[in-house]
Amino acid sequence: MRDVRLVNVCKSFGTEKVLENYSLTIAAGDFFALLGPSGCGKTTILRLIAGFESVDSGQIFLGERDITYLPANERSINTVFQNYALFPHLNVFENVAYSLRIKKTPKDVLEQKVLKILQTVHLEKQAYRTIDQLSGGQQQRVALARAIINEPDVLLLDEPLAALDLKLRERVLVELIELQQNLQTTFVYITHDQDEALAVADRLAIMNHDGKIEQIGSPVEIYDRPKTAFVAKFVGTTNILKTKLDLVDKELRAVFEDSYLSLVVDQEVVAQRSVGSKLTFSLRPEKILLTGKAGQVEGYDNFLTGSILSVIYHGKSTLYRVRINNQLIMEVFDQNGSQSSTGKIEVDDAVYLHWRSTDLVLLSN
């Protein structure tokens, strides 16, 4: 296994700069996801790695080998496209066998390899069906089998589940994870779907609209400890709280501008900040306890009062939008079920929000 490295890569299309001095390292054997909004350059990065596009400047390495100007067919890198790009006139077996036939692989070796790969993706019973006889999930697995038949060092996946419905996506995601673990091949997964990226990836790179990397980390790091407001808002739902640091009763607290409201903060987090510093925090809606009764709750050191603006039922949870004052509206997720703390809460009801100071994540912007 070999890692993939992009070093100071620049790429433009006409007068539009897509990537500028872009650097990224994808460790060998990782299931790595590139996550970002449409148009941020994700697919361009994939096509540069694959060799379908050439860089304007910079270098691309596969292990220690410089592959910047190497033809696509010499890179030991295969791609699964969003539309799968299967041959409709060939059956499943022949679609998967295609590259082996091009290489004039002996018939017995070819049959052995194809049947083994089809077993890996659970398609051995569909080997001689035509493509139009398969479901969307089965077609996706044919595309995967065809891509891995030559045992590439890297498999690139360009939004491969976009054409599938929600239930099928969930099932295929599990199959993808198991397949990558079995093969130990480096997977680079391109998506704008945060749930997909969090589910499959060992590590993620979050890109902004300008094609810059905002943060790289594990799914837990990205979700629980976002570094910027962009990451916090793009990956999941969050409350962005803009405050400034001030002394309240001889304690450093985060105070909302134009408001008497203040927040208890982790003193270690703000220890290096001076009074008057502007602070932006992320607070995930599921970290907030919502109650219909006044009073402090043990274990929660922050407490605000508000009124319900809207109630949105999501099945397993309910989203409450709560007006704290004219400047501040907060969102709260409450898990539905017998352990729910909210009881029956409706629009215009007075409610009470509780959370721990340690759940406030200080952002860099």
Per-residue tens of pLDDT for the chain, all 365 residues? 789 999 999 999 999 999 999 999 999 999 999 999 988 999 999 999 999 999 999 999 999 999 999 999 899 999 988 777 899 999 999 999 999 999 999 999 999 999 999 988 889 999 999 999 998 888 888 998 999 998 899 999 988 887 778 887 888 888 888 888 888 899 999 988 898 899 999 999 999 999 999 999 999 999 999 999 999 999 999 999 999 999 888 889 999 977 778 999 999 999 889 998 999 999 999 999 999 887 788 899 999 999 999 999 888 889 999 999 888 999 999 888 655 555 678 999 999 999 999 999 999 96
Is CATH 3.40.50.300 the classification given to domain 4-234? yes
User: Tokens at residue 139, please?
Assistant: 């077609």
Q: Is the CB of residue 285 less than 8 Å from the CB of residue 238?
A: yes
DSSP three-state, residue 35: strand
Order of all β-strands in the sheet with 4-13 = 16-26, 4-13, 57-62, 65-66
In whole angstroms, what is the distance from residue 357 CA to residue 191 CA?
A: 33
Distance between start and end Cα atoms, the chain: 38
Q: Is residue 46 within a helix (H) or strand (E), and if so which, with residue range?
A: helix 42-50
CATH number for 239-362: choose from 2.40.30.10, 2.40.30.170, 2.40.110.10, 2.40.50.140: 2.40.50.140
22 residue type, one letter: Y
Q: Domain segments of the chain: what residues?
A: 4-234, 239-362
What is residue 319's DSSP assignment?
E
pLDDT digits (tens, 9 = 90+) for 197-226: 999 999 999 999 999 999 999 999 999 999
Residue 223 structure tokens = 């979700």
